Amino acid sequence: MGWHSKRASSFITYAIALFFLFDGVALGLNIWITQRVQEQTIELNLAGRQRMLSQRMVKEFLLIPPNSTTSQRLKDLEQTVTLFDRTLNAFRIGGSTINTDNRIVTIDTISHRSYAHIIEESWTLWTPLRAQVFDYIRQPNGDTFVSLNRSLQRDNIQLLEHMNQLALAIETQARNEIRQVRLLQTAALILALLNFLITWLLYRRKVHSLEKERTIIDSLLNDMPSATVFTNSHGQLLNENPRFIELLGISIEEAKRHTIYELIVPDSTHKNLWRLSDIAFNQALLKVERSTAVEQGEHLTIWRIEDVSKEHEHLNALSQLAFEDPLLGLDNRAAFERRLQDIAPTLKRSTLSTLMFIDLDGFKQINDLLGHNKGDEVLKEVGHRLQQACRDRCYIARHGGDEFTLFASHLNNSEEAKTLAIRLVETLSAVYPTQEGNVEVGASIGVVMIKGRPKSFIELIHQADNAMYIAKQKPAYSRVHIVTAAPEPYSASIQAQN
């Protein structure tokens, strides 16, 4: 008897040590996940900023033809090119760059990752383009302007596509890493449970001698680290631990009036996960494991229930960072393009839809004179006015900087599209009150009328962008230019409308 007691005591000591070891491993993995999410959030923000910088570079270049160059505009273009180059090189070989909060951050090279070829292809495109830009900054002339303009038209769309692919690849890797770590955490948990089970088997005789009225199932249940409940073959609750009642947020008496299938139900949006039903006071997303046992001839089901709401909140937050503009709460460019690709298969040949590219006129002066905080206030009001003007009938996104995109399928012809566009120009051109006084911006809108199902919305966005630059040449309050995308075959020409 004494020998067994000593062996049991020694084994319990080892079991406790192993329990803390497994718990420490799980904690370390959680810390690692948190750090990786922070690093990948920075990388996602930088990848999104690269798209914005490539667009800004084209815009700033087009504003400084040889006969209109100023030292300030050349300096702005040089700063944009330098920041784009520094960030792309940091992705390529590792190093420091400026983040979206104008702080220096250091990122590791992605040369060892599966999507390193995206950066290398981008670098191959960027290297000769960078040399041309710096040549033009040093010595602006007509020949260099024409050559660089052609290069930008040829290569910038590919750069944008590479940056979109980079953001998606970073997000995919983040999800894969979290999934792998969760598997390791599950393995640690299983080992901890096995350790606990062995300890319980050794300690069973003492439990019987100390508490005859208490069954081994009760002891196990009350000591389980997660919510656990025992049910019969009909799902009626036989025994449960306090964590299960805490999870539900209702009394034991109320819980026992219902079966387990009434208290938790499969979640319709997450495969293999459950959620608390409306009977429970709390709300939670659940991971459920079931096993069976037999006690005194009765078949039991053991439910182990874990609240995984926070884990999914982290994943949703990461996705939101990739596809939502944090300042305005609108979808960003990547989300807009993905949404249009999802919409495309639903469009019939007879469907008429409208794509608009909106650019604010004079917004840069607000940032320069009043600061970026006031500029952000104006951008928020612009987003609000666009949503109010469309009243949920249009899909609106922030393309980047002071540019927005809009998709509508309720307009019957180009006249209705022109009417809406003119109304948007007037809405956005109204004064914006600030503490420093009223400020004004204008708006230029390029419109593409689409009939049927297009092959590429990316190309149509580019066409709307080009139409917007034509609209900028028109008088204020009427800066709208409409083009009609030719029906399939898609290679057909574009017919312009005034």
pLDDT digits (tens, 9 = 90+) for 165-206: 888 888 888 788 778 777 877 877 787 777 777 777 766 766
Q: Does the pLDDT value for residue 322 go beyond 80? A: no
* Cα(159)–Cα(148) distance, integer angstroms: 15
pLDDT for the residue numbered 111: 77
Please, which pLDDT band fits residue 492 given cuts at 50, 70 and 90?
very low
Please check the confidence at residue 6 and state whether its pLDDT lies above 60: no
State how far the Cα of 478 lies from the Cα of 489, in Å rounded to an integer: 32
Using left for φ > 0, alpha for ψ between -120 and 50, and beta otherwise, residue 13 falls in alpha
Fold observed for domain 17-183: Four Helix Bundle (Hemerythrin (Met), subunit A) (1.20.120)
**With 80 as the cut, is the pLDDT of residue 17 above it?**
no
Which single residue is written with the structure tokens 């006129």? 361
For the chain, the structural domain boundaries read 17-183, 213-321, 324-497
* pLDDT for position 355: 95
- Beta strands (DSSP E) in 147-284 are 227-231, 237-240, 264-266, 274-276
68: burial class by Cβ within 10 Å (0-12, 13-18, 19+)? exposed
The H-assigned helical ranges of 63-141 are 71-93, 116-138
Work out the average pLDDT over 432-445: 88
At 202, list the tokens.
Answer: 């050794």
- pLDDT, mean of residues 97-109: 84
The conformation of residue 344, written as its DSSP 8-state character, comes to G
The whole-number average pLDDT for the span 132-143 is 88
Give the separation between CA 30 and CA 182, rounded to whole angstroms.
9
Q: Which residue has the higher pLDDT, 332 or 6?
A: 332
Whether pLDDT at 338 is above 50: yes
Closest CA to 480 of 369, 371, 354, 395: 354
* Prediction pTM value: 0.41
Return the pLDDT at 407: 96
Radius of gyration over alpha carbons of the chain, in Å?
31
- Residues 346-399 pLDDT 10s: 888 888 999 999 999 999 999 888 888 899 999 999 999 999 998 778 999 999
Average pLDDT of the residues in 306-311: 85
Task: Look up tokens 């004064």; give the residue.
Answer: 431
Tokens of 420: 């809406």
| Total residues belonging to the chain | 498
Q: Residues 148-157: contacts with CB within 8 Å, 24+ apart?
A: 148/61, 149/61, 149/62, 152/57, 152/58, 152/61, 155/125, 155/126, 155/129, 156/54, 156/55, 156/57, 156/58, 157/458, 157/462
State yes or no: pLDDT of 221 exceeds 70: no
Q: Is 73 helix (H, G, I), strand (E, B) or coil?
A: helix
pLDDT for the residue numbered 195: 73
List, in sequence order, every beta strand (DSSP E) within 264-371: 264-266, 274-276, 285-295, 298-307, 352-361
End-to-end CA distance of the chain: 100
Q: Reply yes or no: is the peptide bond before residue 489 cis, omega within 30 of 0.
A: yes
Dist CA 54 CA 63 (whole Å)? 15
Contacts (Cβ under 8 Å, ≥6 apart) of 240: 221, 227, 228, 229, 230, 252, 255
- Which of 441, 334, 426, 465 minimizes the C-alpha distance to 377? 441
Which position has the higher pLDDT, 289 or 13? 289
pLDDT bucket at 467, cuts 50 / 70 / 90 = very high
Q: What percent of the chain has pLDDT over 90?
A: 28
Return the percentage of the chain with pLDDT > 70, whole number. 87
DSSP 27: H
The secondary element (H helix, E strand) that includes residue 247 is: helix 242-248
Closest to 244 (Cα-Cα) out of 233, 391, 339, 231:
231
For domain 213-321, say whether CATH 3.30.450.20 is its number.
yes
pLDDT score, position 317:
66
Residues 149/141, Cβ–Cβ less than 8 Å: no
Q: Residue 13: how many CA atoms within 13 Å on its side-chain side?
A: 5
Q: How far apart are CA 230 and CA 218, in angstroms?
A: 10
The pLDDT value recorded for residue 305 is: 92
Q: Give pLDDT, residue 490.
A: 37
Which of 164-173, 315-324, 469-478 is modeled with the greatest confidence?
469-478
Q: Do 285 and 312 touch, CB atoms closer than 8 A?
A: yes
Mean pLDDT to the nearest integer, 113-128: 87
Q: Is the pLDDT of residue 426 over 70?
A: yes
Give the homologous superfamily in CATH for domain 324-497: Reverse transcriptase/Diguanylate cyclase domain (3.30.70.270)
Q: What angle do CA 90, 92, 97 make, to 5 degrees?
A: 10
Asked if pLDDT for residue 100 goes beyond 80, the answer is no
Look at residue 469 in the predicted model and tell me its pLDDT.
Answer: 95
Q: What is the pLDDT of residue 46?
A: 83
Query: At residue 292, what are phi and psi to the nearest 5 degrees?
Result: -120, 155
Q: What is the band of 493 on the pLDDT scale with cuts at 50, 70, 90?
A: very low
pLDDT at 488: 55
Whether the Cβ atoms of residue 188 and residue 22 lie closer than 8 Å to each other: yes
Q: What is the mean pLDDT of residues 396-405?
A: 94
Q: Mean of the per-residue pLDDT values for the chain?
A: 83
- As a whole number of angstroms, the distance between CA 404 and CA 398 comes to 4
